[in-house]
Structure formats: C-alpha cells, structure tokens
Amino acid sequence: MPIVVIYMLLFGTVLASGSLIFLLKSRDQQILKLMLAFSGAFLIGISFLKLIPEIYSSAAKYAGLFILAGFLIQLVLELITEGAEHGHSHIHSEDEKVNPFLLLAGLCIHAFLEGTPIVDGYDSNIRNTLVTGIIIHNIPISVTLMSLFVHYGCSLRKAFLYLVVFAMMSPAGSIASSFIHLSTASYMTVFYSYVMAVVVGIFLHVSTSILFEASDNHRYNLRKFLTVCLGILVAFGVSLL
C-alpha cells in the first residue's frame, strides 16, 4: 500500500469516526463498548500473532526492554489523557472539567508514537498490519474525543479542528521517522524493530486496559466475550496475510 494512501486512510478514518457522535445515542454506550472490545482484542491479537514475532526475528537484542518502555510511556500518558485511548470518557459533572488542550496533547503524543514505524522500505506486510490496527483503534478514540470536547463546552467547529490535529499526528510521526531513517539506512531493520517494540508496548497497555476493565452491566458480558473472540479471529486472519 503506497505511503500516501496510508496517510489518507489514517487521516480520513479519524474524521469519519469522530462524526459518529451524531449517530450514536448519548445515553447508549453499548455500541462504543463493543467497538472498544473489538479494537482491544484486535490490537492484542496482532501484537502476539505478528508484530512481536517480527520484532524478535530481527537482531533487536533488547526488544523486551523497548516493549516495556512503550508500556510505561503509555502509563505516563494516561496521567494526562485519563484513559481516553481506551474509551474512558470520564464525564461526571459540569464542575469536573478536563483541559481539552492537555487531553489533545496526550492523545497527539500517543498517535505520533504509533505512526513512527510507518515508513517506506520497512516490511510492507508488517507495516500494513500495524496501520490496520491503528485505524481500528482510532475509531473509538475519535468518538470518545469528540464526545469529550462537545460535553466540556467546545463548539463543533473547535472540536473538529482539534480532531483534525489529532488525525494528523500518526502521519506526522511517520514523516518524522522517515527523516531519521535517511541517516540510519544501514541499521533500518534493527532501528525500526526497536521503534515497533515501543508501539507494541503501547498496544499491550491499551488493549489489556480495554479487555480487563470491569463491565458496568453484567448482562452484556457474553456479548463482549463474543466480540473479543471476533477481534482475535480477525487478527489471526490478518496475521496470515
């Protein structure tokens, strides 16, 4: 898949997903929860079935440390975002307002890091798997982000402007990483294995947070379980491509 097409997909799906807030009922979060469960299962599926094996097949001797680093980076980012990466909206009362700029900054760093392994010359199969994971992951994030901005007083114009900034971050991470690649071409495989390891660590934190958080309504546990199974099954199918 050409890199320009990847950028268009990453950008366009965020904007399209953010627009879903006009279709979802504000009191019915069931669809969003199922979307989150599917995305979490898909992320953990591609991580174990494809991304981690690829990392350890390279000469990246300290890959495990970089996976842990990614896990910890995401933990720090959630001090800013309060878990918006895995669908936590944290909407309580009008007196408990979040700072939209801090929320946006945390999510932008998250998205920027996810985009860094997306470069020309790296294994296109692995790259496309990663892009698919990011796109699926960004759907519930974009819905949550728009919901938060609108709830805490942002106009629709400003909310979409913030969403555009967020949508640009994964392509921006890719572009910045490509410039680094130009000066490290002879070490590309090892370098991007470490970069991918950081992203996998982020994926593992986000996906486990989604999959193991308590359900608000036990009546939907079976539905969530079936959705998780579907996400892992789709990840398995993608890993075979």
Q: In this structure, is residue 163 part of a structural domain?
A: yes
pLDDT score recorded for residue 168: 96
Q: In this structure, is residue 24 part of a structural domain?
A: no
In this structure, are residues 89 and 149 in contact, taking their beta carbons and an 8 Å threshold?
no
pLDDT score recorded for residue 30: 77
pLDDT score recorded for residue 93: 46
Enter the pTM of the model. 0.87
Q: In this structure, is residue 21 part of a structural domain?
A: no
The tokens of 225 are what? 């379980």
With 0-12 CB in 10 A as exposed, 13-18 as middle and 19+ as buried, what is 68? middle
pLDDT score recorded for residue 92: 45
Q: In this structure, is residue 92 part of a structural domain?
A: yes
Block means of pLDDT (10 residues each) for the chain, 241 residues, are 91 91 67 87 95 84 92 89 62 54 86 91 84 92 84 83 94 89 64 90 91 60 88 93 79
Q: In this structure, is residue 164 part of a structural domain?
A: yes
- Compute the radius of gyration of the chain from its Cα atoms: 17
pLDDT score recorded for residue 95: 47
Q: Which amino acid is at 96?
A: E
Q: What residues make up the domain containing 189?
A: 3-15+30-239
Domain count, the chain: 1
pLDDT score recorded for residue 133: 94
With 0-12 CB in 10 A as exposed, 13-18 as middle and 19+ as buried, what is 101? exposed
Q: In this structure, is residue 25 part of a structural domain?
A: no
